[in-house]
């Protein structure tokens, strides 16, 4: 990755590192030199990525696979890096569908009217404060005739998060363009599964909304009726991601998947607990540990976190089935996981990957990680899907 940036502006490069590890060489080169230029009016020639790479001593199939993986991560990065006035729910949904259709996926979109009609109270509640109405996108790769397992992926698609009525402080708010990092990752992953022709059925359910303060915005004290009927008392409108995810989890579970894995920039508490580079993984013990192990193995770094049963009482509501936050500041990441668990059917193996820090690099480039969107956890999700395809 560092070499790719150093060689920026070079017409072509021959890499012998691929003789040692084709995937590391290809992914490192493509991602290390990745640059997002959509919003630039001119580009310094010295900053243009390497024009073409040649990889020696590597099997062509391995190079092709690694290239597809790197392109998927780059797709997720580009989505995160797109300005939030350009990537609103409607345009995000259209782009996701276009990516899916080019890869041969089955696509479905619910617009604002469809969401209201079908009772998606979390998505519509969060989205009603914005002039850009919400969407819910579903993309399905059927896995082909050899597919015997079904995996549901869910990703949070808040295209910008002001905090709503519970307004965030100004410092760092611009980074909230990354609050749809989970959605970007699952869209890129299901498209990648199709391109790699993985023998596993994968459906991504992606709720998209913009969380804004306005005269129509939802507010603390409101009670939302979620998809499936559960009522939620809103105590903080900046805990909006879990609300749209809850709707999506219930919908995804209706497909009767064997596994449900979701990811999001869920909590600032993840950064406090684990820092900027390590994702927190919560959920069913066995699947949680399996997903965390894949995250560490591919270099995206993940750590298993507990969901103590006693925390559920912290979310008891005065007027509804559950509150979206507790009255204290401790264990914020775990409480968000406990909230989401309420919407997962009993017995369904489930894991949530909190990528609040790892999905967006606010510092300078390092290795194959450039500034801005990182594309985490696309490679973790791919490793899990390949594991399921091979081992069930």
| Distance separating alpha carbons of residues 289 and 282, to the nearest angstrom | 9
Is residue 179 within 8 A of residue 161, CB to CB? The reply is yes
In the residue annotation, 242 being an active-site residue is answered as yes
Q: What are phi and psi of 154, to 5 degrees?
A: -130, 135
Label the pairing between strands 52-55 and 12-15.
parallel
| Distance separating alpha carbons of residues 246 and 243, to the nearest angstrom | 5
In the residue annotation, 149 being an active-site residue is answered as no
Q: What are phi and psi of 295, to 5 degrees?
A: -60, -45
Number of H helices, E strands in the chain: 12, 16
Closest C-alpha to 187, from 389, 351, 381, 388 = 381
Give the residue carrying structure tokens 């998927």.
Answer: 72
- Annotated catalytic residue within 77, 135, 150, 242: 242
- Annotated catalytic residue within 168, 277, 312, 371: 168
Is residue 30 within 8 A of residue 7, CB to CB? The reply is no
What residues have CB less than 8 Å from 258, skipping those under 6 apart? 149, 150, 151, 349, 388
Interaxial angle between packed helices 332-341 and 241-253, expressed in degrees from 0 to 180 and rounded to the nearest 10: 30
Q: What is each CA distance from 130 to 244, 274, 316, in whole angstroms?
A: 15, 32, 29
> Is residue 246 helix, strand or coil?
helix
| Distance separating alpha carbons of residues 170 and 173, to the nearest angstrom | 5
Which tokens is 291 given? 């997903």
Q: Which residues are catalytic?
A: 168, 242
């Amino acid at each position: 990755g560092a070499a790719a940036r150093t060689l920026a502006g070079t017409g072509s490069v021959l890499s012998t590192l691929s003789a040692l590890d084709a995937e590391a060489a290809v992914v490192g080169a493509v991602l290390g030199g990745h640059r997002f230029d959509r919003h630039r009016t001119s580009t310094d020639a010295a900053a243009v990525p390497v024009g073409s790479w040649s990889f020696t001593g590597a099997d062509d199939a391995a190079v092709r696979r690694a290239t597809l993986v790197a392109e998927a991560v780059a797709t997720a990065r580009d989505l995160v890096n797109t300005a939030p006035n350009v990537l609103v729910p409607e345009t995000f949904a259209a782009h996701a569908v276009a990516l899916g259709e080019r890869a041969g996926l089955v696509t479905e979109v619910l617009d604002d009217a469809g969401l209201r009609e079908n009772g998606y109270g979390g998505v519509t509640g969060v989205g009603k404060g914005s002039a850009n109405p919400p969407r819910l996108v579903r993309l399905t790769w059927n896995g082909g005739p050899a597919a015997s397992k079904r995996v549901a992926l869910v990703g949070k698609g808040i295209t910008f998060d002001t905090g709503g009525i519970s307004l965030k402080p100004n410092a760092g708010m611009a980074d909230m363009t990354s609050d749809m990092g989970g959605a970007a990752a699952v869209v890129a992953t299901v498209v990648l599964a199709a391109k790699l022709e993985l023998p596993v059925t994968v459906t991504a359910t992606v709720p998209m909304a913009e969380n804004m303060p306005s005269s129509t915005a939802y507010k603390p004290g409101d009670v939302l009726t979620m998809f499936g009927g559960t009522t939620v008392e809103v105590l903080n409108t900046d805990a909006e991601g879990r609300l749209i995810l809850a709707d999506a989890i219930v919908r995804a579970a209706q497909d009767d998947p064997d596994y449900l894995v979701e990811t999001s920039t869920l909590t600032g508490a993840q950064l406090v607990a684990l820092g900027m580079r390590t994702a927190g993984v919560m959920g069913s013990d066995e699947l949680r540990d399996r997903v965390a192990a894949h995250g560490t193995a591919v270099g995206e770094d993940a750590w298993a976190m507990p969901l103590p049963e006693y925390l559920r009482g912290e979310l008891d509501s005065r007027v509804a089935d559950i509150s979206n936050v507790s009255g204290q500041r401790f264990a914020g990441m775990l409480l968000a996981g406990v909230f989401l668990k309420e919407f997962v059917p009993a017995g369904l193996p489930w894991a949530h990957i909190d990528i609040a820090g790892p999905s967006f690099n606010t510092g300078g480039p390092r290795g194959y990680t450039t500034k801005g969107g990182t594309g985490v956890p696309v490679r973790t999700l791919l490793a899990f899907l390949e594991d399921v395809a091979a081992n069930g």
